[in-house]
Amino acid sequence: AVCSMGNSTSRLYSVLAKTLSSGAVSQHQDCLEQLDSARLDPLDPKDLLEECQIVLQKRPPRFQRNFVNLKKDTASNHRPIRVMQWNILAQALGEGKDNFVQCPMEALKWEERKCLILEEILAYKPDILCLQEVDHYFDTFEPLLSRLGYQCTFFPKPWSPCLDVERNNGPDGCAMFFLKERFELINSANIRLTAMKLKTNQVAIAQTLKCHETGRLFCIAVTHLKARTGWERFRSAQGCDLLQNLKNITQGAKIPLIVCGDFNAEPTEEVYREFSNSSLNLNSAYKLLSPDGQSEPPYTTWKIRPSGECRHTLDYIWYSQHALNVNSALGLLTEEQIGPNRLPSFNYPSDHLSLVCDFSFNQDPDRLL
């Protein structure tokens, strides 16, 4: 038996239909047993991409985005490390709470939207993938990405707003995936962020990895800070807590660090300044796309809600600028590509843009670990 995905083509039953389309996991025990056995079989990313494109054949083609070369000296002995950061939009929130007034409900159907998300991931082939608002981890991302060679980690929010939505798929949270052929996991920490000494509903994952090719250690972290105007001091406190945790994990910046996240904070906020001025010596990778290398992009999220149009820069990839170089970064979608109805849409599955950077280790021998 297979799990039905509604209006899917028969081709999908080989891969995508094995991922559950709704939340009642306990009612799909037979499918879960299939997933356990399916994880053992490697999956060709080309086959998965082809199946996604079959599902999406009635939708417009995906937008083209180009990488911008940022490294003047391109000579490197090792392959770069590609890191992808993305708030993918929790399915329960997209359908039930976020009120995207210009986005047709048809565009938010999970059977198709998940294929748009997968298509974006498969197009950029990240070595490390950091996601927020993941509420289909166990039935979609973990079973599929594990078969693509990724080691997968998920940390849900303690009180996810997804649980308030009828027919939800469980809590949303942060997820991290890295290619096992490229990295070895040395240490992993699930961090529940505190603010004013109180535990909060926001979380982070921090993992120390060893690069097989170089033997170098580095730490990769993913987080999603508290949303909404009026919570600036709260976000600042969460950011301080995360930085303190990362200082301990990286032994005071001895281990290079990359932090991906939806900070829900513009560059004018205190939490942004805390990361910029931290003793961890962090820089924001996407600043390097600006002419002077000092300005963040004009937006990383763009949507229309009942209260009006929301265009903000909230998503970042921070990195240890003394130990890592940014070789290239993926350019953002233009306003023309996004279109007048903004995001999400039939073209793009989330209200946040994905950020993708290629990193290399600084070759300074004094910085070798």
Residue located via tokens 């297979």: 2
Q: How far is CA 195 from CA 25, 114, 155, 228, 242, in A?
A: 34, 34, 18, 16, 10
Residue located via tokens 């105007």: 229
Q: Is residue 21 part of a domain?
A: no
Q: Tell if the pTM clears 0.85, that is, is over it.
A: yes
pLDDT digits (tens, 9 = 90+) for 256-311: 999 999 999 999 999 999 999 999 999 999 999 999 999 999 999 999 988 889 99
Q: Is residue 2 part of a domain?
A: no
Q: Is residue 95 part of a domain?
A: yes
Domain that holds residue 191: 80-364
Q: Is residue 140 part of a domain?
A: yes
pLDDT digits (tens, 9 = 90+) for 327-338: 999 999 999 999
DSSP three-state, residue 366: helix
Total tally of structural domains belonging to the chain: 1
pLDDT digits (tens, 9 = 90+) for 113-147: 999 999 999 999 999 999 999 999 999 999 999 99
Cis bond upstream, residue 344 (ω within 30): yes
Instruction: Assess contact for 119 and 13: CB atoms under 8 A.
Output: no
Distance, in Å, from the CA atom of 225 to the CA atom of 272, rounded to the nearest integer, reads 12
Q: Is residue 148 part of a domain?
A: yes
Q: Is residue 24 part of a domain?
A: no
Q: How far is CA 57 from CA 53, 115, 346, 349, in A?
A: 6, 11, 11, 15
Is the pLDDT score of 23 beyond 80? no
Alpha helical stretches, state H, 125-231:
142-147
Q: Is residue 73 part of a domain?
A: no
Distance, in Å, from the CA atom of 71 to the CA atom of 68, rounded to the nearest integer, reads 9
- CATH at residue 220: 3.60.10.10
The tokens describing 115, both together, are 């294929």
Q: Is residue 277 part of a domain?
A: yes
pLDDT digits (tens, 9 = 90+) for 26-82: 344 444 444 554 456 899 999 999 999 999 999 999 889 999 999 876 566 789 999
